[in-house]
Amino acid sequence: MASLRYVLARSDQPLIRGARRTARRLLDAPVPAPKVIVLPIVKLWRVVQIAYYFLKRKLIAEPFLKAQCASYGPGLRCGNFVHWISGAGDIVLGEHVQVDGKSDFMFGSLLPERPMLEIGDHTYINHRCSFSVARRVTIGRHVYIAGNVRFMDSPGHPMDAAGRRAHLPPSAEQIRPIVVGDDAWIGVDCIVLPGVTIGEGAVIAAGSVVSRDVPPFTLAGGVPAKPIRELPRS
């Protein structure tokens, strides 16, 4: 089929050349768009779109998320996608939490205690975020998390080569909780590594890898993220 398309696209035969010209004319031919006809159709299409996504969110996406939470507060809202949740762990969501778009929640049962993800009141999580939880990840209140941010409280594999060859899990010492303080803002494409505490009101610049604690009300950025300047404590 591919070779036939190539021949039809490159052939110099008069009949095929004429067919190509006719096809191009048809593709380029203008289609009349009288406003009196098209605008009502566009408005109707927008109404149908709004209704479809509203019902999908209310009847599918939000119930799916709520059913898999250990607890959640009033005002929980998510986008139109069904979030990916795997493994055994507890999701605890505060009041008026918004988990927009589609995010991944992955739990690794590597320790005796059950892993937990806790997200505080009025926190916003954007599209394509990822939470890999083997012990505990705690997100404070009024936190803004931009798209494609990844949290992982475990390296996933042991640091020594012999352990990786034996397909062993990481040691308990390597699995360390993550804490994000109230009013923090984490920029797009950031990675937050095990054992990190991001202080209250801190801002993490886009694309940063946070491998050490960030003081409260501090702008940090880079790979690895380092303090850049202090922020006002309003």
pLDDT tens-digit readout, 51-66? 999 999 999 999 999 9
CA distance 204 to 146: 10
Catalytic residue, chosen from 83, 96, 157, 167, is 157
Does 210 map to a domain?
A: yes
Does 72 map to a domain?
A: yes
Does 123 map to a domain?
A: yes
| Residue 167 is among the residues annotated as catalytic for this protein | no
Give the range of the structural domain holding residue 181, as residue numbers without chain letter: 68-230
Does 29 map to a domain?
A: no
CA distance 17 to 31: 24
Residue type at 48 in one-letter notation: V
- For the stretch 104-129, pLDDT in tens is 999 997 788 899 999 999 999 999 99
Does 78 map to a domain?
A: yes
What's the pLDDT at 1?
55
- For the stretch 168-220, pLDDT in tens is 888 888 999 999 999 999 999 999 999 999 999 999 999 999 999 999 999 99
Other beta carbons less than 10 A from residue 181's beta carbon: 20
Phi, psi (5° rounding) for residue 48?
Answer: -65, -40
Structural domain count of the chain: 1
Residue 93 confidence (pLDDT) above 80: yes
CA distance 115 to 131: 11
Does 102 map to a domain?
A: yes
Does 54 map to a domain?
A: no
* Average pLDDT value for residue range 34-47: 94
CA distance 153 to 116: 11
CATH number at residue 105: 2.160.10.10
In 3D space, the residue among 123, 126, 132 whose CA is nearest the CA of residue 104 turns out to be 132
- For the stretch 130-147, pLDDT in tens is 999 999 999 999 999 999
Does 22 map to a domain?
A: no
Number of H helices, E strands in the chain: 5, 20
Chain-wide mean pLDDT for the chain? 93
* Average pLDDT value for residue range 24-52: 92
